């Protein structure tokens, strides 16, 4: 895991014990910090008292333990330099003297009471990415790429990581994707950390100086957490404000023109507009089809060129990129028909790029609808050969497609839709699950729905 002597003896409160919270506690304890951890879920608190944490100070004490002379704060570090752990709700204790409160990105900073409580004690609120930033000075020489944006950041992050890995460069992917970055072993000298960063994670970070910072795009999102769209855009722009002279930025032209995301960036920051980046023939990259993926490729290619990769290495990575699970995932090709799993597309806006990517589609759609229309998909209806509707939205979506002059089969279930679509599809055509809906009527989540699609295709 990633640790730092800079954390030794410091006092931290960690609120939220999901994966990143647990990784944070473990990294701090291994660094010799004193940690007060809490989650409203008792099972998560109990899980943190696993054998791997025993022997570290109190090994999981709580404020209910009869240690009145040692409360409300943990004891001093043990002679061995190991950290100390206790359990207490940060809202119920005096935070004076703590070095930081570390919260999950899911904690809404605009309305959670921990914000006022910490500010009253003059204690900063940060996230695990900020701890990584503070630990960087103790890691072997490396570079950090930070990628944010409303859409495309996961694909761009995974693609860049794949290109670097294919080129033989030590690299780790983390942040809003994959395993928590603090849980990973540090890279060897010359390595590159590729971090997907949500706006929530950026809000909890103040010293992450990315060697290259990337903004894929900005569209309205998460407005319940911000003071309008401008506040959301300003959160993204902070990624560039944290950079230092001599580093680089890659941004899309619209975001820079409309929201001046580089205005607070330091003088001497190099930048490229991703829209102007020349790329090769997209037809050569099977998992990167569609206009939206062309933009993702431009962001990744621009970053690779800044890092000094050879064009041949970049092209090799683009050709061999496998794609992300459930995001326009190429599942199989049978008798010349391609089967694509885009189960992650849980609304019409997310489905539209998938429809744009292929000209001859047998479209499987439906589930729990988030809107009563398919307006965002309508510009690409000419790519749809036939629709196969499933789930709660099936009748409504069937009506919309029929009114648009499209043939439709109301299949009801995903398995029936796959069988019907496969029976009608001809060589050169695509059977695509891109449901434009949530999954909870028939599946536990979009991943379960995607696995069911794969299984149905395998059973043909």
Half-sphere exposure of 457 (CA within 13 A, CB side): 24
Task: Report the candidate in 387, 300, 399 with the shortest Cα–Cα distance to residue 351.
Answer: 387
Kindly give, in sequence order, each residue whose CB lies less than 8 Å from that of residue 50, ignoring residues fewer than 6 positions away: none
Structural domains counted in the chain: 3
Give the chain's residues under pLDDT 50: 51-81
The last residue of a domain, from among 265, 295, 320? 320
Q: Look at residue 221 in the predicted model and tell me its pLDDT.
A: 59
The last residue of a domain, from among 103, 126, 149? 126
Give the domain CATH number at 56.
3.40.50.720
Task: Report the candidate in 71, 36, 74, 72 with the shortest Cα–Cα distance to residue 57.
Answer: 74
Q: Does one domain contain both 199 and 141?
A: yes
Task: Report the candidate in 236, 224, 273, 235 with the shortest Cα–Cα distance to residue 253.
Answer: 273
Q: Does one domain contain both 316 and 339?
A: no
CA distance 198 to 296: 16
Q: Look at residue 222 in the predicted model and tell me its pLDDT.
A: 61
How far does Cα 136 stand from its chain's mean position? 21
**Which parts of 42-152 fold into alpha helices (H)?**
42-47, 113-120, 128-135
Q: Does one domain contain both 152 and 244?
A: yes
- 212-215 and 361-366 as β-strands: parallel, antiparallel, unpaired? unpaired
The last residue of a domain, from among 126, 150, 168? 126
Q: Does one domain contain both 15 and 116?
A: yes
Kindly give, in sequence order, each residue whose CB lies less than 8 Å from that of residue 423, ignoring residues fewer than 6 positions away: none
Q: Does one domain contain both 116 and 261?
A: no
Q: Does one domain contain both 163 and 247?
A: yes
Q: Look at residue 220 in the predicted model and tell me its pLDDT.
A: 66
The parent domain of residue 303 ranges over 131-320
Q: Look at residue 48 in the predicted model and tell me its pLDDT.
A: 85
Q: Does one domain contain both 148 and 113?
A: no
Q: Look at residue 223 in the predicted model and tell me its pLDDT.
A: 66
Q: Look at residue 62 in the predicted model and tell me its pLDDT.
A: 37
Q: Does one domain contain both 300 and 356?
A: no
Q: Does one domain contain both 311 and 371?
A: no
């Amino acid at each position: 895991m990633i640790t730092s002597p800079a954390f030794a003896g410091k006092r931290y409160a960690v609120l939220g014990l999901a994966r990143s919270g647990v990784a944070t506690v473990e990294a701090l304890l291994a660094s010799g910090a004193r940690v007060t951890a809490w989650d409203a879920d008792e099972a998560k608190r109990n899980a943190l008292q696993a054998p791997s944490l025993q022997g570290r100070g109190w090994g999981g004490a709580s404020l209910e333990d009869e240690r009145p002379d040692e409360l409300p704060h943990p004891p001093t570090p043990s002679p061995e330099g190991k950290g100390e752990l206790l359990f207490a709700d940060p809202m119920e204790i005096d935070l004076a003297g703590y070095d930081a409160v570390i919260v999950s990105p899911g904690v809404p900073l605009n309305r959670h009471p921990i914000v006022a409580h910490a500010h009253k004690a003059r204690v900063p609120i940060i996230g695990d990415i900020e701890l990584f930033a503070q630990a960087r000075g103790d890691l072997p020489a490396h570079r950090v790429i930070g990628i944010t944006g409303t859409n495309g950041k996961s694909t761009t992050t995974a693609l860049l990581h794949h290109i670097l890995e294919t080129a033989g460069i030590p690299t780790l992917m983390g942040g809003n994707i994959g395993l928590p970055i603090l849980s990973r072993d540090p890279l060897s000298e010359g390595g590159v950390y590729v971090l997907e960063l949500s706006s929530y994670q950026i809000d909890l970070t103040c010293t992450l100086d990315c060697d290259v910072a990337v903004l894929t795009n900005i569209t309205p999102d998460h407005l319940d957490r911000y003071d309008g769209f401008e506040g959301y855009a300003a959160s993204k722009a902070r990624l560039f404000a944290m950079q230092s002279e001599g580093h680089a930025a890659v941004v899309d032209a619209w975001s820079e023109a409309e929201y001046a995301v580089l205005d607070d960036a330091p003088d001497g920051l190099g930048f490229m507009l991703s829209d102007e980046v020349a790329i090769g023939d997209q037809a050569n990259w099977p998992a990167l089809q569609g206009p939206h993926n062309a933009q993702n490729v431009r962001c990744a290619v621009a970053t690779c060129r800044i890092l000094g990769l050879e064009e041949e290495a970049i092209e090799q990575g683009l050709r061999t990129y496998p794609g992300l699970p459930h995001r326009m995932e190429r599942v199989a090709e049978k008798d010349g028909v391609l089967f694509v799993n885009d189960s992650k597309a849980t609304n019409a806006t997310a489905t539209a790029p998938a429809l744009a990517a292929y000209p001859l589609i047998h479209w499987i759609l439906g589930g729990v609808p988030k809107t009563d229309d398919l307006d965002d998909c309508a510009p690409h209806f000419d790519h749809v050969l036939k629709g196969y509707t499933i789930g709660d939205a099936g009748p409504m979506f069937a009506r919309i497609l029929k009114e648009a002059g499209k043939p439709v089969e109301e299949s009801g279930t995903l398995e029936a839709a796959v069988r019907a679509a496969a029976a009608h599809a001809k060589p050169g055509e695509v059977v695509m699950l891109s449901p434009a809906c949530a999954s909870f009527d028939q599946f536990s989540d979009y991943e379960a729905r995607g696995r069911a699609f794969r299984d149905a295709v395998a059973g043909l």
